[in-house]
């Protein structure tokens, strides 16, 4: 109980006791504290436990079948066998959605290949399919008969039994299809010269007859005559130089009878004609007859598809057109340069030579635009001196072709445009050519392929007709191959692929290029 202080009067006259609250005590303060209730009696514990039970039951319900398959695989196999038997009994031998007897038995066999029930089930499916083929043949449902017979053969039904059913099917089809009528239509189409191109033509009709009666003499002889005529036509158009038409006719004959007696000779003649056309195209390319070379390579591609030699010729042709575009741009003949560049792009849009020509054309345009229409002699001399000084600085930095407008070559071209007969400009041109050649040799020996290629590009641009360029291009391409092969061995497939494209753009016929291309192809396949 609290201890009371003396009573004190209030202002209204009443007197109330005042308690000392600091010493206030309650009844039971001396009793020991009550212990906490047990954990199992806590409501929160019950709630979490109930939630865990619900989740466990839900998981068991959802994953009941996978768990059963994991812990009791025999149960799953037996279920598949039962499903297969039910599907077989209902006549559903196969189904794309996996509910056919075949699919059930194959699934059971995949789970346990040692159990004989699955093998026996597949054998029953095969026998049932063969019986279905017989029944479908008897009632004239030839499409169903072919489907059932194909299933029986896939499941390895005895070959003799399948052959017997196939023969019955062929005879019934022949009887119902009116072979005599088909043969008559084919012979009439042959007489009218309607040989191929639609189902009513002679060759397709003869193929239908021979599919039903493979040994029908009239059909075999008619087809032989038609195909021989087609091969003769192929020889005629081949002699006129139309390789595309010749190749198309020979392919047509091969499609109808790959064993035709005259086919090997015709194919050999086409191969010789293709070789000859390639040689002529190569000669045209070397002599600068680019349009005729294009025609030749295109003719070979149309006759022989993706011929490697024609593809390489097209690459060289694109590089030649790109070089022509560079020469025209160097003389500020931009219309001719654009035309040559368009030809190069059409032939090989991904060629590095085409990309370089595009950049060069842009530099030439910028250089031409920077030239004033006319200059006084004193100002012209000052501009030439400034350009030559800038050229020397770019040369010292190794900036032969880039950046556009600031490279040694661009400054030289600008100086030549201002004063082509100036002795200093001519000396600078000779010096730049010699420096570019020396730069190429130094960078090539140091395996600095990109700088070596830049120097080679400068060399080609300054003197495109230099006889020594062919050997330099071959060496540059082989250097790319060597460096790319080394990086390929280290696992850098991306760099190797880039090196391959660079080598192709410089010299598509470089020694070792085809072997390196095959190694890169195999490495790319291994990465997929």
Rounded Cα gap, residues 272 and 269, in angstroms: 5
Residue-level pLDDT at 86: 93
Closest C-alpha among 293, 190, 193, 300 to residue 238: 300
Residue-level pLDDT at 64: 57
Q: Are 395 and 407 contacting, i.e. CB atoms less than 8 angstroms apart?
A: no
Residue-level pLDDT at 3: 47
Q: Are 440 and 456 contacting, i.e. CB atoms less than 8 angstroms apart?
A: yes
The 3-state secondary structure of 73-101, one letter per residue: HHHHHHHHHHHHHHHHHCCCCCCCCCCCH
Which residue pairs from 228-232 have beta carbons closer than 8 angstroms and sit at least 24 positions apart in sequence?
228/260, 228/262, 229/195, 230/195, 231/260, 231/262, 231/263, 231/266
Closest C-alpha among 418, 406, 411, 409 to residue 381: 418
Rounded Cα gap, residues 111 and 275, in angstroms: 57
Q: End-to-end CA distance of the chain, in Å?
A: 91
Give the number of residues written for the chain: 528
Q: How large is the C-alpha radius of gyration of the chain? A: 45
Rounded Cα gap, residues 495 and 487, in angstroms: 7
435 to 27, 396, 439, 461: CA distances (angstroms): 112, 10, 6, 13
Closest C-alpha among 409, 384, 381, 382 to residue 394: 409
Residue-level pLDDT at 1: 45
Kindly report the average pLDDT of the chain as a whole number: 80
Q: From the CB of residue 414, how many other CB atoms can be counted at a distance below 10 Å?
A: 23
Closest C-alpha among 429, 431, 449 to residue 440: 449
Rounded Cα gap, residues 54 and 167, in angstroms: 65
The pLDDT tens digits for 366-403 are: 766 666 656 677 888 888 889 889 988 888 887 776 77
Helix pair 263-286, 217-239: axis angle to 10 deg = 20
Residue-level pLDDT at 124: 93
Closest C-alpha among 430, 325, 416 to residue 367: 416
Rounded Cα gap, residues 210 and 76, in angstroms: 49
Rounded Cα gap, residues 135 and 285, in angstroms: 68
Closest C-alpha among 341, 140, 117 to residue 106: 117
Closest C-alpha among 391, 398, 402, 458 to residue 425: 391
Using the 8-state DSSP alphabet, how is residue 34 labeled? P
Q: What is the pLDDT along the chain (528 residues), one digit of tens a residue?
A: 444 444 555 555 555 555 554 555 555 555 555 555 555 455 666 666 667 766 776 765 656 555 544 444 567 778 888 998 999 999 899 998 888 999 998 888 877 777 788 889 999 999 999 999 999 888 878 888 889 999 999 988 888 888 888 888 877 776 666 778 888 888 888 888 888 878 888 888 888 888 877 888 888 989 998 998 888 888 888 888 888 888 888 888 888 888 888 888 988 988 888 888 888 888 888 888 888 998 888 888 888 777 788 888 888 888 888 888 877 776 677 888 889 889 888 888 877 778 778 877 887 777 666 666 566 778 888 888 898 899 888 888 877 767 767 778 778 878 877 777 788 888 888 888 888 888 899 889 988 888 888 888 878 777 766 778 889 989 999 999 999 989 888 888 889 888 988 888 788 778 888 889 888 888 887 666
Helix pair 493-506, 449-462: axis angle to 10 deg = 20
3-state secondary structure of 227: helix
The pLDDT tens digits for 55-109 are: 776 765 656 555 544 444 567 778 888 998 999 999 899 998 888 999 998 888 8
């Amino acid at each position: 109980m609290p201890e009371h202080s003396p009573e004190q009067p209030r202002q209204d006259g009443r007197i109330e006791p005042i308690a000392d609250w600091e010493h206030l005590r309650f009844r039971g303060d001396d009793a020991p504290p009550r212990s906490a209730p047990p954990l199992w009696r806590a409501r929160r514990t019950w709630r979490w436990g109930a939630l865990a039970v619900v989740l466990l039951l839900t998981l068991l319900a959802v994953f009941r079948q996978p768990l059963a398959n994991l812990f009791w695989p025999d149960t799953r196999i037996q279920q598949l066998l039962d499903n297969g038997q039910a599907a077989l009994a209902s006549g559903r031998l196969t189904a794309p959605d996996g509910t056919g007897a075949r699919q059930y038995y194959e699934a059971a066999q995949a789970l346990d290949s040692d159990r004989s029930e699955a093998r026996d089930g597949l054998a029953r499916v095969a026998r049932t399919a063969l019986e279905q083929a017989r029944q479908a043949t008897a009632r004239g449902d030839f499409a169903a008969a072919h489907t059932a017979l194909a299933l029986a053969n896939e499941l390895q039904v005895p070959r003799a039994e399948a052959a017997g059913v196939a023969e019955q099917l062929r005879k019934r089809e022949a009887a119902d299809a009116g072979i005599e009528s088909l043969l008559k239509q084919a012979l009439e189409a042959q007489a009218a010269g309607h040989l191929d191109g639609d189902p009513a033509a002679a060759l397709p009709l003869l193929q239908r007859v021979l599919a039903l009666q493979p040994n029908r003499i009239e059909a075999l002889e008619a087809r032989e005559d038609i195909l021989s005529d087609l091969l003769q036509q192929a020889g005629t158009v081949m002699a006129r130089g139309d390789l595309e038409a010749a190749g198309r006719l020979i392919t047509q004959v091969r499609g109808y009878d790959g064993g035709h007696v005259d086919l090997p000779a015709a194919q050999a003649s086409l191969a010789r004609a293709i070789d000859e056309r390639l040689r002529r195209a190569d000669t045209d390319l070397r002599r600068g007859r680019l349009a005729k070379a294009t025609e030749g390579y295109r003719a070979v591609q149309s006759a022989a598809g993706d011929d490697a030699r024609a593809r390489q010729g097209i690459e060289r042709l694109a590089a030649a057109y790109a070089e022509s575009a560079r020469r025209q741009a160097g003389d500020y003949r931009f219309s001719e340069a654009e035309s040559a560049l368009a030809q190069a792009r059409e032939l090989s849009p991904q060629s590095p030579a085409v990309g370089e020509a595009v950049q060069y054309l842009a530099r030439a345009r910028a250089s031409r635009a920077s030239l004033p229409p006319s200059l006084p002699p004193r100002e012209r001399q000052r501009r030439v001196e400034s350009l030559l000084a800038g050229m020397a600085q770019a040369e010292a930095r190794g900036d032969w072709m880039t950046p556009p407008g600031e490279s040694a070559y661009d400054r030289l071209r600008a100086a030549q445009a201002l004063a082509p007969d100036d002795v200093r400009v001519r000396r600078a041109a000779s010096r730049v050519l010699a420096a570019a050649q020396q730069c190429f040799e130094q960078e090539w020996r140091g395996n600095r392929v990109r700088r070596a290629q830049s120097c080679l590009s400068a060399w080609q641009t300054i003197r495109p007709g230099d006889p020594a360029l062919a050997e330099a291009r071959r060496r540059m391409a082989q250097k790319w191959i060597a460096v790319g092969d080394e990086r390929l061995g280290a696992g850098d497939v991306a760099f190797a692929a880039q090196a391959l494209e660079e080598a192709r753009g410089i010299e598509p016929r470089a020694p070792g290029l085809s072997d390196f291309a095959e190694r890169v192809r195999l490495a790319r396949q291994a990465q997929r």
